[in-house]
Chains A and B, each alone.
Chain A
């Protein structure tokens, strides 16, 4: 549904992906409901691009990223990576596919085994998936350490001897070990200091160019995503509400949530900051176990209309390559005949 520029080739195609987690309660641990962490998202990631996935905590970004790599059994939908549907693959076929897709995690501290040396950590995927000799593996580990800017002399050290930024480099080296095509970066800089974040982001950019990598870059940092992403998808409460090329999204957001989100970002420049027109959203994000009827955002939307509380808006390509799921844009982009939206609006107004 969400494919734009035809000249580009999608490496990853996600269609109507759902990831629902059951909620159990009571003495008998009966299933009483489900958390709709990801609830029907569709998007493509083109070869060689960085798709930014932004949104606030709990909106389903990480779940979406993890589901893409089949770290969960998905509830519904399809995920095609390089022509193969990952969502329904058998475990043995999945194992074969694993090397092409990797993940870099938020917390470099927690994602590295503290009892393994850097050498062993980076080498582990090679042990599991290749038949390289010990010497070849050693050589490969050195090359990876060079690529991410770690001194080869530190190969025998343990993770605790490294700073946060260096640990993130170890994680990246490990993710690169099997020459992947696609890497999900889940908040890779969130745990790092400002001055170290830029180091890691520049490294990710260099590696992308060097190895032709495709990234899904998950982050709540809208400024950094503007820097690194080719296109950006905005998630709210389990759904993608807007997806557009970077500059289109930042310069002319269509969805009221994207507008509010961007306006909320503080500007590191007092003269610009004084001019920012801030949209202060009221209230909190509803629980994904009990999302509102109609549009997900209707409980906080400053532009809410009666129809929004009734009918879920469909995702539409409002401008070339610029998608939004919002009734405001549904109406204007569908001139022919009455839309479901208009009809519901009329019903609401008692016509």
Chain B
């Protein structure tokens, strides 16, 4: 589906810090990735690993203070968004880049009709008049599978079910033909049967519209089904990155390996005892000078305490940030 051509989005060395009472939280630390036209990049990681902060940093959506994007480049079609002014960013958000957040109830404004909320960006970004915007809104609601779309334009968000609201959010995100869609846990608040509907819908829409998608989730199952490539985050960093089959079939980072073993399955073999990862994820008050996974890592060696490993390429499109992997690669070279 993706042509492996020039990336639409390139993120380099992104660093985001929150200033809080008594210090700083280094939420995103040196994150780099790119996104090719039409591909779906999955982002997994546990709560607090920096998934949302990364994506919000890209679009200048974090309140500052307390947030500060301290370093990095975010190139959208070659233009650095971190250097862009607020007007440009406002154009990008909901224009070239659509986004969907986890909780559709808080992301839709309860006091405006759904129709208004779909038409607003169309008029703003695409300069449509009222009639054209309305026609497009109906088209979009039909596209995401909302029955009697025209009548429903005058309904308010609370008149829709959770799954329907998420469809509306998708319709809004798609309204201006974005090149990139960022979906932050778009199905986490939904029931599995509704999640299955939304995932099916997203697959169809990607076929039809060919946009690139970043899909954030903590659910490895969802990732396995939809992603082309996967980026695993831990402690504000990318610890492993690989094509989806490679990541599941040949995980190399101790965190990825352990994570894949902690989740039971409804179809595969049933294990008697779940593998666990001891301890808690870290909250980083400073850029880590050692591997952030060290305290919980079953394979840790002395060197892991001495430095924070950087991402090492180990195969086509597969890289890992782990001292052991670095050592193994060095031994091969």
Interface of A is mostly: helix
Inter-subunit contact B221/A266 (CB<8 Å): yes
Q: Are B263 and A273 in contact (CB under 8 A)?
A: no
A195 touching B221 in the complex, CB below 8 Å, given contacts A165-B280, A227-B271, A267-B268: no
Residue contact B276 to A198, C-beta cutoff 8 Å: yes
Q: For the complex, is B31 an interface residue (Cβ under 8 Å from A)?
A: no
A197, B259: Cα distance in complex, Å: 11
Inter-chain contacts of A276 with B (CB < 8 A): 267
Contact of A268 among B200, B220, B273 (CB under 8 A): B220
Q: Tell me if A223 and B266 are in contact (CB < 8 A).
A: yes
Among A165, A193, A199, A280, which residue has its beta carbon within 8 angstroms of that of B196? Answer: A280
Given that A56-B192, A223-B264, A264-B193 are known contacts, is A273 also in contact with B276, CB under 8 Å in the complex?
no
| Interface presence of B177 (CB below 8 A) | no
**Besides A195-B259, A265-B221, A284-B164, 15 other A-B contacts (C-beta < 8 A):** A165-B280, A194-B220, A195-B46, A198-B263, A223-B263, A226-B270, A247-B270, A264-B196, A266-B225, A269-B268, A270-B224, A270-B244, A270-B248, A280-B196, A280-B197
- A266 contact from B222, B277, B280, Cβ within 8 A: B222
Leading 4 A-B pairs by shortest Cβ distance: A266-B221, A56-B191, A264-B196, A268-B220
Q: Is the CB of A273 within 8 A of B194?
A: no
Q: Can you list 25 residue pairs at the A/B interface with Cβ under 8 Å?
A: A193-B46, A194-B46, A195-B262, A195-B276, A195-B277, A198-B274, A247-B270, A260-B193, A261-B192, A262-B266, A263-B196, A266-B222, A266-B225, A267-B267, A267-B268, A268-B224, A268-B248, A269-B268, A270-B225, A270-B244, A271-B248, A278-B200, A280-B193, A280-B196, A281-B197
B281 within 8 A of A: yes
A284 with B194: CB separation less than 8 A? yes
With a cutoff of 8 Å between Cβ atoms, the chain A residues found around residue B274 in the complex are 198, 201-202, 227
Chain B, range 50-93, C-beta contacts under 8 Å to A: none
Q: Are B46 and A250 in contact (CB under 8 A)?
A: no
A residues near B262, Cβ cutoff 8 Å? 194-195, 197-198
Smallest CB gap from B265: residue in A? A223
Residue numbers in A under 8 Å from B46 (CB-CB): 193-196
**Given A193-B46, A198-B262, A272 contacting B193 (CB threshold 8 A):** no
For the complex, give the distance between the alpha carbons of A67 and B262 in Å. Answer: 32
Instruction: Please state if A268 and B193 are interface contacts (CB–CB under 8 Å).
Output: no
CA distance A285 to B259 in the complex (A): 33
| Chain B residues within an 8 Å CB radius of A193 | 46-47, 218, 281
The CA of A165 and the CA of B47, in the complex, are separated in Å by 12
Interfacial chain B residues near A201, Cβ < 8 Å: 274
Q: Which of B163, B199, B267, B273 has the most CB of A within 10 A?
A: B267
A121 to chain B, nearest CB (A): 20
Compute how far the CA of A244 lies from the CA of B162 in the bound complex, rounded to whole angstroms.
30
Q: How far, in whole Å, are A193 and B200 apart by their CA atoms in the complex? A: 25
A264 to B222, alpha carbons, bound, how many Å?
Answer: 10
B258 touches A195 (CB 8 A): yes
Whether B151 is near chain A, meaning CB under 8 Å from some CB there, is no
A161 vs B223: C-alpha distance when bound (angstroms):
33
A281 contacts which chain B residues (CB < 8 A)?
193, 196-197
Given contacts A195-B262, A278-B200, A280-B197, contact A267 B192 (CB under 8 A): no
Measured between beta carbons, the chain A residues less than 8 angstroms from B275 are 198
Determine the chain B residues whose CB is within 8 A of the CB of A261 once the complex forms. Answer: 192-193
Contacts of B163 in A (CB 8 A): 284
A197 vs B47: C-alpha distance in the bound complex, in angstroms?
12
For A272, list chain B residues within 8 Å (CB): 265, 267-268
Q: How far is the CB of A218 from chain B (nearest CB, A)?
A: 14
B260 at the interface (CB under 8 A from A): yes
> From residue 318 to 333 of chain A, which have CB atoms closer than 8 A to chain B?
none
Q: How many Å from the CB of A193 to the closest CB on chain B?
A: 4
**Does B195 sit at the interface, judged by CB under 8 A?**
yes
Q: Is there an interface contact between A267 and B280, defined as CB atoms closer than 8 Å?
A: no
Question: What's the Cα separation between A271 and B196 when bound, in Å?
Answer: 18
Q: Enumerate chain B residues within 8 angstroms of A278, measured Cβ to Cβ.
A: 196, 200
When distances are taken between beta carbons in the complex, the residues of chain B under 8 Å from A199 are: 276-278
B262 CB to closest chain A CB, in angstroms? Answer: 4
List of B residues within 8 angstroms of A247 by Cβ: 270
| A284 and B161 form a contact (CB under 8 A) | yes
Interface set, chain A 224-248, CB cutoff 8 A to B? 224, 226-227, 247
Question: Counting CB contacts under 8 A, is B219 at the interface?
Answer: yes
CB-defined contacts of B220 to chain A, threshold 8 Å: 194, 268
How far does the alpha carbon of A271 sit from the alpha carbon of B246 in the complex, in Å?
11
| CB-based nearest A residue for B283 | A163
Q: Is the CB of A273 within 8 A of B191?
A: no
CA distance A350 to B129 in the complex (A): 55
A98 in the interface (beta carbon within 8 A): no
Closest to B47 in A: A193
For residue A59, which residue of chain B has the nearest CB?
B191
Known: A268-B260, A269-B268, A270-B245. A198 touches B277 (CB 8 A): yes
- Asked whether A269 lies within 8 Å of B193 as measured between CB atoms, the reply is no
Contact call A224/B264, Cβ cutoff below 8 A: yes
Residues of chain A from 16 to 64 with CB closer than 8 A to chain B in the complex: 56-57
Which residues from chain B contact A196 at a C-beta distance below 8 Å? 46, 280
Q: How far is the CB of A202 from chain B (nearest CB, A)?
A: 6
**Smallest distance from the beta carbon of B80 to chain A beta carbons, Å?**
34
A276 vs B273: C-alpha distance when bound (angstroms)? 25
Is A220 in contact with chain B by the CB < 8 A criterion?
A: yes
What is the CA–CA distance of A188 and B244 in the complex, to the nearest angstrom?
31
Set of chain B residues within 8 Å of A165, measured between Cβ atoms:
280
* Set of chain A residues within 8 Å of B193, measured between Cβ atoms: 56, 260-261, 264, 280-281
Q: Provide the bound-state CA to CA distance between A272 and B218, in Å.
A: 19
User: What sequence of 0s and 1s flags, for each residue 163-195 of chain A, a beta carbon within 8 Å of any chain B beta carbon?
Assistant: 101100000000000000000000000000111
Q: A264-B195, A269-B248, A284-B163 are in contact. Are A194 and B263 (CB under 8 A)?
A: yes
Which residues of A sit under 8 angstroms from B192, Cβ to Cβ?
56, 220, 222, 261, 264-265
B245 / chain A contacts, CB cutoff of 8 Å = 270-271
Residues of A within 8 A of B161 (CB): 284
A266 near B224 with CB under 8 A, answer yes
